[in-house]
Amino acid sequence: MHDMATALPASKPKTIRFRDPQIEMAHGAGGKASRRLIEGLFAPILCGLSSEPLNDAATISINGATIAITADSFVVSPLSFPGGSIGELAVNGTVNDLAVSGARAEALVVTYVLEAGLPTEILEAEVRAMGRAASAAGVAIAGGDTKVVEHGKADKMYITTAGVGRPIPGVQLSARSARPGDVILISGPIGDHGITILLARGELDLEADICSDTRPVIGLVEALAAAAAPGLRWMRDPTRGGVATTLNEFARDCGLGVCLFEDRIPVHDAVRGACELLGLDPLHIANEGQFLAVVAPEYADAALEALQRAPGGQHACRIGEVREQPARSVLASTPYGGTRIVDMLVGDPLPRIC
């Protein structure tokens, strides 16, 4: 999320200057530092000032037709991991950024940055993975570009995909349309992707039966839209920075508060266990096949039912609601009456996750 394309039409009215003296890993982690970089450097220079919040895709109008456009880069290490690989991520990531912006991906273009010495076998496997993922998501790969850099100047391969999409009829998304009482839904269990990558790196001597959740969510988004489009206010896929960061951005953009019911957030036991051991919060862990939706209360039951009935949506659930307070913040409440503030991700516990 928050790639160049997504940043283009969007910046905040108040000027933030980017003062960090050098780029650190945290600027790519999707948390506070990333946001500062986009709002303080990219957006003011490239887009001028507008009052639109940052979104996962931009919408532009060409000859009266509205299209959604976005781009995403993938630098994950290792290249393949249980449940997926960089090629699959590169397709699903862009398809999902369009989906949660209310658009069905129609075509992608792809660029490869390859390190000299990369075995053809690995490249071919990733190209095939992209082909399979594209047909699963129903999107065409329309073109691309390839660059090769000297051995040691890149880590095996990086992929960038850009995509255009057709808006799903009847869907109008904006954080600012949210109202107190709106319901927050999640499409399934959180944290699988981030923990899978962490374990796949093999640095931890931890093993768990767990897979990345990478998948296209467009089918779920369309099912949701069919059942509840008029009540659908906002969607986002909680990738880097996790649910906590994504909901904090939402809270900031709508000026309202988010209250999460801690015991209702679906997390696989293996992910919980790894997080407990490593001192991580599942709410900060990246996902690649889930999305959050904010739905008007009168549509909440229909929306949840539609998600749960759609293939891959059986674990969808209601995890929180929008409230007046705490404005621009996210609060988690425990079933026994304790509460805590859920902040955005600070720093980068897990670099190169996607």
Partner 1 sequence: MKFTDEFRDTELILRTSDEIRRLADPKRHYRMMEVCGGHTHAIYRFGLNDLLPPNIELVHGPGCPVCVLPMGRIDDGLAIAAEKDVIFTAFGDMMRVPGTHGSPLEHKARGADVRIVYSPADALKIARANPSRHVMFFAIGFETTAPSTALTLMRAKAEGIRNFSVFCNHVTIIPAIRAILDSPDMRIDAFIGPGHVSTVIGCRVYEWIARNEGKPIVVSGFEPLDVLQSVVMILRQMERGEAKVENQYRRVVPWEGNRAALKVMADVFTLRSYFEWRGMGFISQSALALSDSYADWDAERLFNVPGIRVTDPKAAQCGEVLKGVLKPQQCKLFGSECTPENPVGALMVSSEGACAAYYQYEHRKSQLVSIPA
* Minimum distance, C-beta of residue 23 to partner 1, in the bound complex (Å): 7
Q: Distances from the Cα of 1 to the Cαs of 7, 51, 116, 221, 333, in angstroms?
A: 9, 19, 29, 17, 27
Cα 215–chain centre separation: 12
Whole-angstrom CA distances from 23 to 34, 40, 102 are 10, 13, 32
CB of 148 to partner 1, least distance (A): 25
According to DSSP, residue 303 is labeled H
Q: Among residues 23 and 142, whose Cβ is nearest to partner 1?
A: 23
Smaller CB separation from partner 1, 78 or 144: 78
CB-nearer residue toward partner 1: 140 or 341: 341
Q: How far is the CB of 238 from partner 1 (least distance, A)?
A: 18
Least distance in Å: CB of 270 to partner 1?
10
Q: Which is nearer to partner 1, 19 or 311 (CB)?
A: 19
* Of the candidates 92, 126, 139, 101, the residue with the CA atom closest to the CA atom of residue 10: 101
Residue closer to partner 1 (CB basis): 170 or 181:
181
**CB of 296: closest distance to partner 1 in angstroms?**
19
DSSP-assigned beta bridge partners for residue 144: 110
Distance (Å, rounded) from C-alpha 76 to C-alpha 91?
13
Of 143 and 351, nearer to partner 1 (C-beta) is 351
10 Å CB burial of residue 77 (0-12, 13-18, 19+) is middle
Binding region for partner 1 (CB under 8 A):
22-25, 32-33, 203-204, 263, 269, 272-273, 276, 278-279, 323, 325-326, 329, 331, 333-341, 343, 346-347, 349
**What angle do helix axes 120-137 and 86-99 make, rounded to 10 degrees?**
30
291: Cβ contacts below 8 Å, ≥ 6 apart: 96, 99, 100, 186, 187, 217, 220, 221, 235, 236, 237, 238
User: Least distance in Å: CB of 340 to partner 1?
Assistant: 4
